[in-house]
Structure 1
Amino acid sequence: MSKKKYQVFLSSTYSDLQTVRDSITRALYELDCIPVGMEAFPAADEEQFEFIKKLIDQTDYYVLVIGARYGSIAPDGMSYTEKEYRYAMEIGVPVLAFVHSSPDTLPKEVSDIRDPKKAEEFYRFRNDVTAARMVKMWDSDQTLPASVVLALNRAFSTSPRQGWIRSPSVDTEKTLEKLVELQEELTSAREELKLFKAMDGQLKDIAGLDAEVTCFVEAWKRDNNSSTVRDGVKEFHVRLEDVFRDVGPNMIESLNQDAFSNMVALFVSKGQRKWNSVEYKFSLTRETLNLLRIQYEALGLIKVFRSKTVGGKTANFWQLTKTGSTEVRRLNVIKAN
């Protein structure tokens, strides 16, 4: 018979416990569980909470982690974290609670207890949880995942649940691998969103893709000694949108910065350059390359990272963000007549 896999809902406040959540999620995968939670869009309104309830309906075990925050408040005055907890209790899902033993020692950046009103709600909720059942106290991010795994193993024996069993027509291992991949993508998307929001407050007057920029293109040729030498610089004017429409699709997968420079140089100088010999190659000046990078990054369209090349060297690579992918599709999709 196929091994049963349990679905575990991980509940907590989000921004203050993100690292802890990531560690516990990895531990759950290693335990061969199916972790679920609101990683994509932490609960912030009643519509999303209705979706959360459906997830909890399908959950075998509910893990609650409490630090020093009460969480986002719903219209009824209760935090969404508490609403999740009470719903799990209401429908009879086994609850495993992990409560920080000394919330007053946590930094103020991740704590509500310095605000009298928030502190009152936090301690009320914390006391309700600790009074309702046996809970595990924690004070270390490093040991908490192991405590969760031990508690779940005990629950598997004392309170077995329906779980999920592999169907002959479904490859559960591949499904779990896909879940891990999606989780990593969501983490990356959250970081991009965080960066975009931070930049949005600072760059209110930034020019959009309709702006025209000056690109300086360098030509290089081989001399009589077969050495590559510079053969002049030409100035071209082009719109950011036109460059992005032409070169953007090449960044769906990561694109070496030198290749990007060559593609843009060929595009902006097309039909205007006098060089036709195969002995020539073209690139952007460093100033032009930096200008394009700064502008596209500021618009949230690309991310640039260092990585190994096929030859083993290290280089910059340009890749579209989620926003950039959407924009490339908008600019290049073939529209119906």
Structure 2
Amino acid sequence: MDKKYQVFISSTYEDLKEERDQAIKAVLEMGHIPVGMEMFSAADEEQWQLIARQIEATDYYVIIVGHRYGSETPEGISYTEKEYDYAKSCGVPSLGFVIDEKASWPVDRVDKDSKKKKKLDGLKNKIKSKPVHFWSGKEDLHGKISISLIKAMNGNPRTGWTRTDESLDASITKELSRLSAENSKLRDENNKLLNKQLEAVDEIRDVVNILNENSRTLQIRSEASFDTATEHTRTLLQLFLAVAPNLILENTNEGIASNVSYSIVGTKYHNFWPFGKTPTEHLMADFAALDLVEPSKKKHPVSDKSSYWSLTRIGKQVQKRSRRIQLEEGITTSEDRLDDEDT
């Protein structure tokens, strides 16, 4: 009797949606049963146990790798790599498909984080330790998966599933196709929040690094005249962290100038525009350009001509996450640098 084989398809999700669809299509066109993580959620151990049971019951395992390592488990390994390792430990024949490094690829679907890149290279090398197939596009991938599965099924036949009759087979295939599309849509919706969180983390890390890589020199006066003003150089990160606490609600430009001056010279600053109105406006323009601050939405009397600012969503996240990012990136903290950067 004809057999139907279960084929587990593993990959990162958001960046390889179309490629996964082609893999599922290839398996369905061959009359077999595709299974993949879009039918589940690997967000906790209970769901991982469900995925593990599916891998154990799988006849062939297909892993597709692009330029992203993917979401990681608490142990620091991606769910894709965890699935691959488990399939190998179960003795499931594994077929690896790694993207050709010369193939054109959207830059927004490439890992920028150096740690993730290193882990991705390790996964690719692990897959390349066995015969592997290189692909350059979704159409190319479709054909290579079909050919590779045919060779694997002929050369290494597995237990598979036996069907009762053609009409049942057709209805099962149709239902599987419908369920696959439905589960893919649900998976997409369920992962949007997680992906937004992951993207936000990367976005905040980028902003922190930009702030740290740019400096400003301010002339802070301790009396009415600027003749005796002293120069002080600080990174935009130091300056932002100095003013952020008082921007959670709102603050004026002059208040911001005072906050910056206090963080540098303590109370030894002139209480009226300690480093000037124009430099303060330029500083706030820098923060606004990075979407860290925005004009306050609170209402004020018409007679009040001051400019009021508040933190944006990104600004609040930078203030909240900056300390951890500084430690992870090896960025010297403002407390460490305030004493040795005066010029």
Q: Specify the TM-score bucket, using the shorter chain as the normaliser.
A: 0.5 to 0.7
Structure 1 segments (4+ residues) deviating >3 Å: 167-170, 187-198
For residues 46 and 19 of structure 2, the distance between their equivalents in structure 1, rounded to whole angstroms, comes to 26
- TM (norm. structure 1) is 0.54
The aligned runs of 1:46-125 (5 Å cut-off) are: 46-102=45-101, 105-112=104-111, 114-125=112-123
- Corresponding residue of 2:171: 174
Aligned to 2:138, the other structure's residue is in SS state: coil
- Corresponding residue of 1:138: 135
1:70–1:121 contact (8 Å) kept in structure 2: yes
The answer to which structure has the higher helix fraction is 2
- Corresponding residue of 1:153: 150
Cα deviation, 1:244-290, whole Å, max 9, x if unaligned, reads xxxxxxxxxxxxxxxxxxxxxxxxxxxxxxxxxxxxxxxxxxxxxxx
Using a 3 Å threshold, how does the CA distance of structure 1 residues 72 and 173 change in structure 2: closer, same or farther?
A: same
The aligned runs of 1:276-287 (5 Å cut-off) are: none
- Corresponding residue of 1:25: 24
The yes-or-no answer on 1:186 pairing with 2:183 is: yes
Q: How far 1:168 moved relative to its partner? A: 6.6
1:10–1:35 contact (8 Å) kept in structure 2: yes
For residues 81 and 103 of structure 1, the distance between their equivalents in structure 2, rounded to whole angstroms, comes to 23
- Corresponding residue of 2:126: 128
Q: Which amino acid aligns with 1:126?
A: K
Q: Which amino acid aligns with 2:181?
A: E
The aligned runs of 1:251-330 (5 Å cut-off) are: none
- The sequence identity of aligned pairs, in percent, is 41
Q: CA RMSD in A?
A: 2.7
For residues 59 and 191 of structure 1, the distance between their equivalents in structure 2, rounded to whole angstroms, comes to 23
- Corresponding residue of 1:38: 37
For residues 194 and 157 of structure 2, the distance between their equivalents in structure 1, rounded to whole angstroms, comes to 44
For residues 79 and 115 of structure 2, the distance between their equivalents in structure 1, rounded to whole angstroms, comes to 17
1:44–1:72 contact (8 Å) kept in structure 2: no
- TM (norm. structure 2) is 0.53
For residues 7 and 189 of structure 2, the distance between their equivalents in structure 1, rounded to whole angstroms, comes to 27
Using a 3 Å threshold, how does the CA distance of structure 1 residues 193 and 121 change in structure 2: closer, same or farther?
A: closer
Q: How far 1:72 moved relative to its partner? A: 1.0
Structure with bigger gyration radius: 2
1:8–1:36 contact (8 Å) kept in structure 2: yes
Segments of structure 2 that go 5 or more residues without pairing to the other structure are: 196-343
Using a 3 Å threshold, how does the CA distance of structure 1 residues 47 and 108 change in structure 2: closer, same or farther?
A: farther
Using a 3 Å threshold, how does the CA distance of structure 1 residues 106 and 83 change in structure 2: closer, same or farther?
A: same
Q: How far 1:77 moved relative to its partner? A: 1.3
For residues 161 and 131 of structure 2, the distance between their equivalents in structure 1, rounded to whole angstroms, comes to 27
For residues 49 and 183 of structure 1, the distance between their equivalents in structure 2, rounded to whole angstroms, comes to 19
- Corresponding residue of 1:7: 6
Q: How far 1:40 moved relative to its partner? A: 3.0
- Corresponding residue of 1:162: 159
For residues 96 and 32 of structure 2, the distance between their equivalents in structure 1, rounded to whole angstroms, comes to 18
